[in-house]
Structure 1
Amino acid sequence: MKLYGVVGWKNAGKTGLMERLVAEICARGITVSTVKHAHHAFDVDHEGKDSYRHRAAGASEVLLASRKRVAIMQEMRGAPEPSLEALLARLSPVDLVLIEGYKRDNHPKVEAFRAETGNSLIATDDPTVRAVASDTPIVLDRPVFDLNDTKAVADFILAEVGL
């Protein structure tokens, strides 16, 4: 599986770019999975549902399955957060895995950047950021794309990974 990341500070446009990239790349007949890092607790089920009740009762893992989808919820219960490598090993094979977040990991990345956030560029200090998708013109030592030019960003990523 080929890997490519989308990084950026909060409100930089990462999730919107990811969503558009997944749609664009899948429309080209390339299979895509995603990994999203969250810095906070989250739930994929809700209080009162059977799967929630299983977790609340102490289950380490709950696998929820139907004809339409499968979800595995794993409670860390004090264990360390799994590495990106360990998480990737759990995915079924696809052509490309797009990774949102994990900015400190060593895979190639494109940075989403919005000037209005007032944050500095990650790319200036990180050689794994191979390009920037920005809402404002930037002069940089690597490609800079318009944040909304999904086709150009997708073309770049696919060329980088050889797809």
Structure 2
Amino acid sequence: MVRPNIFQVVGFQNSGKTTVILKIIEELTKQGVRTVTLKHHGHGGKPSVISQKDSARHISAGAAASLVEGGGRLLLQAEDYSMELDDQIKILEPFQPDYILIEGHKQKNYPKLLILREKADLSLLEIVKNVKMILYWNEEIKTILGKQEGILLLPIHDKTSISKIADFLIKNR
């Protein structure tokens, strides 16, 4: 099995990560690129589940995990269990994607798109490594950044930015 390419989209909360990932998925799918996603739930607490479904009831009764399959859909839920990012990636590899797109996990060292919404977000440049592209919200950020060696700077409101991101991913797989 060929290992998929991995690309992260990172930024602070409400920077537009989910919207950007959705647009990247749509663009890559149009071009025949198979993607899977992995999202870090960084808002504190646990991700929401549909509590009335049998799988949630299995967990409530004490099951450590519940997997539901039907009609070509597969859902996995586990409780009181955390897993390293690399192990989560291994779970997704059997789906044979061309790309695993990761939303979040700022400290990991996979190639990244960094979204900078406001001037204060520039502090992420000290934390985040392996940045290949920066999507910025305003010209002030672009001016402060100047030229970044080896990093593509793209405005978030430019309709061509998503296709440029997709083109980059396709060329670098």
- With the length of structure 1 as denominator, give the TM-score of the two structures: 0.87
* Alignment-mate amino acid for residue 83 of structure 1: E
Q: CA deviation at 1:125?
A: 4.8
Q: Which residue of 1 aligns with 2:128?
A: 126
Matched residues in 2 for 1:34 and 1:50: separation?
Answer: 25
Identity percentage of aligned residues: 26
Q: 1:6 aligns with which of 9, 12, 33?
A: 9
- Choose which of 125, 128, 147 in structure 1 pairs with 2:156: 147
**1:55–1:33 distance in 2 versus 1, CA, 3 Å:** same
| 1:156 Cα offset (Å) | 2.1
Query: Is the 1:31–1:96 Cα contact (8 Å) retained in structure 2?
Result: yes
Give the number of equivalent residue pairs.
156
How far apart are the structure 2 equivalents of 1:140 and 1:33?
Answer: 32
Task: Using the TM superposition, name which of 12-21 and 133-142 deviates more.
Answer: 133-142
Shift of 1:52: 1.4
Quote the Cα distance in structure 2 between the aligned partners of 1:126 and 1:52: 36
In 2, the alpha carbon distance for the partners of 1:22 and 1:121 equals 28
Tell me the TM-score normalised to structure 2 length. 0.82
1:98 match: 101
Q: Where do 5+ consecutive residues of structure 2 fail to align?
A: none
3-12 or 137-146, which deviates more: 137-146
Partner of 1:136: 138
Return 9-18 or 144-153, whichever deviates more. 144-153
Aligned equivalents of 1:27 and 1:49: distance in 2? 33
Higher helix share: 2
* Cross-structure match for 1:84: 85
Structure 1 runs not aligned, ≥5 long: none
Is the 1:17–1:112 contact (alpha carbons within 8 Å) kept by the matching residues of 2?
A: no
1:43 match: 48
CA distance in 1, matches of 2:87, 2:103: 16
Confirm whether residue 17 of structure 1 aligns to residue 23 of structure 2: no
